[in-house]
Amino acid sequence: MLRTTTGGAGNGAAGAADQLVSIGTVLNQLREEFPEVTISKIRFLEAEGLVEPQRTASGYRKFSPRDVERLARILRMQRDHYLPLKVIREHLDAVERGEQVELPAAPQRDPLDGGPWEAAQDRPTAARVGRAELLAAAGAGEDELAEWESYGLVVQGVDGGYDAEAVTVAKLVAELGRFGLEPRHLRAVKAAAEREAGLVEQVVAPLRRHRNPQTRAHAEATAKELAALSVRLHAALVQTALGIRLH
């Protein structure tokens, strides 16, 4: 059950201000029900207009209890119904207008399913966007996206949408392109990423095949931690290599 932080006995503006919490606090509150949520995911949902936290004079996000509950509803709709963001936004807008809207029935799933990496990749994922939305986020055209896809840099889901990682990749590829780096130049980067992913999979594969749901959940957390460490190591090695070559 999601718990939100509330203020004390004050009321009015002071009482409302007391109830506002930071994005880190929101993350901790949501992780009780959604252990895989990240700050990046919350920021992505904000960027997509699904939630609008207040901002302090210094620019820090401050979330109200209503914002936290809205985020929880979005995450539930993604987790239980695999809905794209456009449908979720339309549903929430309808609810706020007081309309009675039914969600699609959640698909039936085998409680032991979800171990193998391939099965996880075939499932619809959270925070998906359409082709036009991805192009707008990356500031790119159809020809550029088609070329990125031809090199396997950006991958379209089976439902025709793109997940948050694909949006990030598209933005980065577009940025690198401004320095003259073309998709063909990035094949080595993609190959290195796939090798690193393979190493992570070797470690967590036995955990993913376990019948205990808690063990499988631990596998996901372990995969995320290993992936983060791998990214940090890769960045450090690139910095080291550049330092040696440039000096």
Q: Where are the domains of the chain?
A: 1-7+15-108
CATH number of 1-7+15-108: 1.10.1660.10
Q: What whole-number distance in Å separates Cα of residue 216 and Cα of residue 204?
A: 9
First to last CA, the chain: 55
Percent of the chain with pLDDT strictly greater than 70: 81
Is 80 a residue whose pLDDT tops 50?
Answer: yes
- Averaging pLDDT over each range in 109-113, 208-212, 231-235, which range is the top one? 231-235
- pLDDT score, position 17: 59
Q: What is the mean pLDDT of the chain?
A: 79
Confidence of residue 11 (pLDDT cuts 50, 70, 90): low
- pLDDT score, position 129: 86
Output the CA–CA distances (angstroms, integers) from residue 246 to 180, 237, 240, in the order listed.
20, 14, 10
pTM: 0.46
Output the CA–CA distances (angstroms, integers) from residue 104 to 59, 80, 83, 219, in the order listed.
38, 10, 9, 29
* Cβ atoms of 123 and 159 closer than 8 Å: no
